[in-house]
Structure 1
Amino acid sequence: MEHIEIMGMVAAVLTTASFVPQVRKTWIEKSTKDISLTMYLAMFLGVVLWLIYGIYYESVPMILANFITAVLLLVMIVLKLKYK
């Protein structure tokens, strides 16, 4: 694996993992009053577009990171709609 791919994997892990604490907190507290639905919808759309881009260029770090991030964002959107 090239150094740039390793850097991409590290970036993917860090950016994807950054969503986990918010999902966990929201899941446990069942409160989304301070969460912006518009922000999460825009972020979800952007991440899905990055996922498509990663698939097109066959970039494993981009595919993995954006797929997992899209799932986490989708969970947040569902929680926002459920607990608003």
Structure 2
Amino acid sequence: MGVPFETVLGLVAGSLTTLAFLPQVVRTWRTRSTADISLGMFLVLCTGIALWFVYGLINGDWPVIIANGLTFLLASIILGFKIRHG
């Protein structure tokens, strides 16, 4: 039987959107500069990602849980740098 197509699709989509944050985390880590990052946008984004994570937990939707858990971690690192170095 294998893994359902919609699960694979969700995992691929989640992986891509999560990985999209990695270059910004690396750049922010290296430069310690967050001047061009909007604090308001990242606060709203982190809140939305956290809510998607909870949604995934409530529904037992592993692609949503995994993707949003990792994305929240990466976005929170950027947000932390913004608050600390902004």
Q: TM-score, normalised by structure 1?
A: 0.97
Matches of 2:33 and 2:78 in 1, distance apart?
Answer: 11
For residues 29-84 of structure 1, give each alpha carbon's deviation from its aligned partner in whole angstroms, at most 9, with x where no partner exists.
11000000100000000000000000111011000000001111111111001111
**Structure 2: unaligned runs, 5 residues or longer:** none
| Aligned length in residues | 84
Report the residue type matching 1:29 in the other structure: T
Partner of 2:25: 23
Q: 2:73 is matched with which residue: 66, 71, 74? A: 71
Q: TM-score, normalised by structure 2?
A: 0.95
**Structure 1: unaligned runs, 5 residues or longer:** none
Matches of 1:24 and 1:3 in 2, distance apart?
Answer: 32
Q: 1:13 is matched with which residue: 15, 23, 37? A: 15
Identity, % of aligned pairs? 38
